[in-house]
Amino acid sequence: MAPISALPVQPGKVIAVHLAFESRAAQRGRRPKQPSYFIKATSSLSPSGAEVVRPEGTELLAFEGEIALIIGEPARNVPLERAWEHVSHVTASNDLGIYDYRAQDKGSNTRSKSRDGYTPIGPELIDARAIDPKALRLRTWVNGELVQEDGTSDEQMIFPLAQFVADLSQHMTLETGDIILTGTPAGSTVVQPGDVIEVEVDAPTAPGVPTSGKLRTPVVSGPGDFDGSVGMLPNIDDKQSEEAWGDRAAAGLPADPNAISAELRAKLEAAPTAGLSAQLRNRGLNQVVIEGVYPQTRGTKMVGVARTLRFLPEREDLFKTHGGGFNAQKRTFDAVKPGEVLVIEARRQSESGTMGDILALRARFRGAAGVVTDGGVRDYEEVKEIGLPVFTQGAHPAVLGRRHVPWDHDLAIACGNATVVPGDIIVGDDDGVIVIPRNLAEEVADAALVKEHEDAWVAERVAEGGPLDGLFPPTGANKEAYQAYLAANPVEFPTPGGGGS
């Protein structure tokens, strides 16, 4: 590696953090409980202005604007409150990677991120003693357009910058010149040959606004020269494309296959659970009602895709190991996706809360379609005010640990004596909640709406004084009368954003 003038000494190692910004965690749908790391080769370092090569045969070169910490005084087993004293300088970096190799590397990122030139750094150093580590700003531009902007406050970072120094020093000596790359915020995406990436770190509230200057990296194309006889060849799939680009739409991928189409959602929102339940029974499915749960607010209609969470019966030793920290309950609420209904197995034990107002706020922010729990809800009125559809057995003030251990998620569960598999369709209204297998959802919704049309006609006849015999359901002359009515007034299926009969 050629010397880089911005660095005080040549580093012995470069350590990168996988995930550290709240905005990136929200984008990825997962939030780590503790920091995790990978090593980048020092030969990947390059100065501002140096070109980065996207090898032929690859597609997914993505930038990651990052804040780089440079170790001054060696650190070994330093406490958190002293850790920042071991950082001499802060500067900008770009943690580039080829997602074509990311799946094969399985978190080590060796081939995807340690290529020559894949860690541009600089151009100037900020004295770490002159700034507040919780008041830095990171910005990234691509071809002059601002694409990343975030900060290092407690609200913006999952972990404070100093924690990386303290944590790593428990396991290795951080030596003078070593570099820690502290993760990227939301906005990282794919770049192409011809693009120019610029990254800057500054301290806007510090005297003189110290800055790293803009770290400039032009992207060029170069030979691949990959030999499949000695190692893996580059390969991409939908998951890597989505994560490299930032989302499925930007990657040119179809919508999430687990999502409900707007057309089906409109039909399910129009169909009552009573009618849907009857149609499922006609198809041989009787155990589809989540027993004993009702909406907090009358008039609530909920439609979404099931995401599941399971609690085990309280056992004090297991609660000590699984109940605290970023447990299964918090991880699931923190990762729920837009349009999903979080279904909680609490064994119909309502003698403690299974969620409260903070978790409800997080689920609403994440775009959840609702929550179903066959247990109790704490902060009942506060949760109701949040506006998230919640179906529960009722209110209970006790904390989770009185009856439950948060155990696991995203697996088949039993909620209210009904089996719920991730990906099932969940529909709730004032009558309760039902579970619809995805492969039956379209036909069941259509059939329920057709039956609703017929029932509306029958209700009018009964209101006029008609007897139930031969009318409910229509037979003989009544059936002929309804068929004539149907010909003149066909069933209108609802459309997204519209209405229907």
pLDDT at 281: 96
Structure tokens that stand for 442 in this block: 């379209």
Last residue of a domain, one of 406, 436, 466: 436
Looking at the fold, whether 290 and 232 belong to one and the same domain comes out as: no
Residue 4 above 70 pLDDT? no
Distance between CA 208 and CA 130 in Å, rounded? Answer: 10
pLDDT for res 498: 52
Residue 342 among known ligand-binding residues: no
Give the mean pLDDT of 27-46: 90
* Same structural domain, 220 and 317: no
Crossing angle (nearest 10°) for helices 441-463 and 273-282? 120
pLDDT at 2 over 60: no
The pLDDT assigned to 252 comes to 86
Dist. CA 432–CA 434, nearest whole Å: 7
Give pLDDT tens digits for 45-55.
999 999 999 99
What H or E segment, with its residue span, contains residue 150?
Answer: strand 145-151
Q: Please report the pLDDT score of residue 501 as a whole number.
A: 40
For 289-319, write each residue's pLDDT tens digit: 999 999 999 999 999 999 999 999 999 999 9
Give the mean pLDDT of the chain.
93
- What is the rounded CA–CA span in Å between residue 182 and residue 180? 6
| Stretch 470-498: mean pLDDT | 88
In a domain, residue 257? The reply is: no
Do 33 and 123 have their domain in common? yes
The residues near 314 (Cβ < 8 Å, ≥ 6 apart) are: 401, 402, 403, 404, 405
Q: Who contacts 293 (Cβ-Cβ below 8 Å, separation ≥6)?
A: 372, 373, 374, 391, 392, 393, 416, 428, 432, 433
Lowest-confidence region among 26-30, 213-217, 270-274, 470-474:
26-30
Is 356 labeled as ligand-binding?
Answer: yes
Domain annotation covers residue 461: no
Please provide the DSSP assignment of 190-204 as one string: B--TT-EEEEEEE-T
Is 379 annotated for ligand binding?
A: yes
> Which of the listed residues 245, 263, 297 is the one where a domain comes to its end?
245
Query: Binding residue per annotation — 455?
Result: no
132 is in an annotated binding site: no
Same-domain check for residues 304 and 368: yes
Is the pLDDT at 285 greater than 90, yes or no?
A: yes
- Total domains in the chain come to 2
> Which residue range(s) make up the domain with 87?
14-245
Residue 499, in any domain of the structure: no
Q: Would 397 be classed as within a structural domain?
A: yes
Query: Which residue among 228, 245, 262 closes a domain?
Result: 245
Co-location of 312 and 234 in the same domain:
no
- State whether 299 and 186 are in the same domain: no
- H or E stretch covering 275: helix 273-282
Reported as a single tens digit per residue, the pLDDT across 133-165 is 999 999 999 999 999 999 999 999 999 999 999
Q: At residue 207, does pLDDT exceed 80?
A: yes
Kindly indicate the confidence band of residue 185, based on its pLDDT and cuts at 50, 70 and 90: very high
Is a pLDDT exceeding 90 seen at residue 446? yes
Give, as one character, the DSSP assignment of residue 86: G
CATH of the domain at 76: 3.90.850.10
Say which residues have a Cβ less than 8 Å from residue 23's Cβ, sequence separation at least 6. 150, 156, 185, 186, 187
SS3 393: coil
> What pLDDT does 1 receive?
37
Looking at the structure, tell me whether residues 58 and 204 fall in a common domain.
yes
Strand partners, 148: 140
Residues 101 and 156 placed together within one structural domain of the fold: yes
What's 416's DSSP letter? T
pLDDT band for position 432 (cuts 50, 70, 90) = very high
Annotated binding-site residue? 408 = no
Per residue in 215-268, pLDDT (tens digit) is: 999 999 999 889 888 888 898 888 889 889 988 888 888 777 678 888 999 999
pLDDT of residue 499: 45
pLDDT of res. 32? 86
Residues 6+ away with beta carbon under 8 Å from 156:
21, 22, 23, 150, 185
pLDDT of residue 497: 64
Q: Are residues 65 and 128 in the same domain?
A: yes
